[in-house]
Amino acid sequence: MGRRKRNIGVRRAMSRRRRNLLAVVVIVLLALLGMMDRRFGGGLRQSISHWGGDWDEYSKYHNRSFPVVHVVDGDTLDLGIPDGTHPTTRVRLLGIDTPEKRIGDTPAAYYGPEATEYTTGIALGREVTVLLDTIGDVRDKYGRLLAYIRLPDGSILSEQLIGNGYGYADLRFRHSHFDAYVALQQRAMDSKAGLWSKVRRDQLPPWLQRERPDLLKKVR
């Protein structure tokens, strides 16, 4: 009887120690999460919340590198990684809209061929890194992946296009670098870079005329 009581006492003591240890681990983890959350300004909560339903996309593409195998136009390209039944993944660049190239009988928009040629020259055949955003959707209504593309030299393709006057900062959809891209476009306009050198009012895309009617005063 005495031995049984001692064994029961030992088991209870071990159980209490395990519970105490678990409580300490939980407290430490909560403290670490709190520190990380403060360190990243709430970004941790935002990322966990945003990627909850799109974790497969995030783990497959974010911060991973793939070759550019085809350039559709200035703001759209294909990466050499399968996407569902497709042999490649089509990416629509975030934060920018470039003029359209010629499609069938529809003529190219002003500076459309130049934008396509620019993206082809700096991206085609190169290993680039995909950066997904924590604002907005992961894909557009056509199923294209929405992403920033980091070039081998560390620059961001969307920023290169806007800064050099090959496209417009897209004001229709919010993203993490919205204000920075608007400022980048303003600098391109002020320096008359690329299309801003000779673009006419009627050559601006309809959405831009609608979103920024003040731009009409700054172009011919």
Catalytically active residues are 92, 100, 144
DSSP class per residue in the chain: -HHHHHHHHHHHHHHHHHHHHHHHHHHHHHHHHHHHHHHTTTHHHHHHHHHTS-HHHHHHHTT-EEEEEEEEETTEEEESS-BTTBSSEEEEETTEEPPP--BTTBPPPTTHHHHHHHHHHHHTTSEEEEE--SSS-SB-TT-PEEEEEE-TTS-BHHHHHHHTTSSEE--SS--TTHHHHHHHHHHHHHTT-GGGGT--GGGS-HHHHHH-GGGGGT--
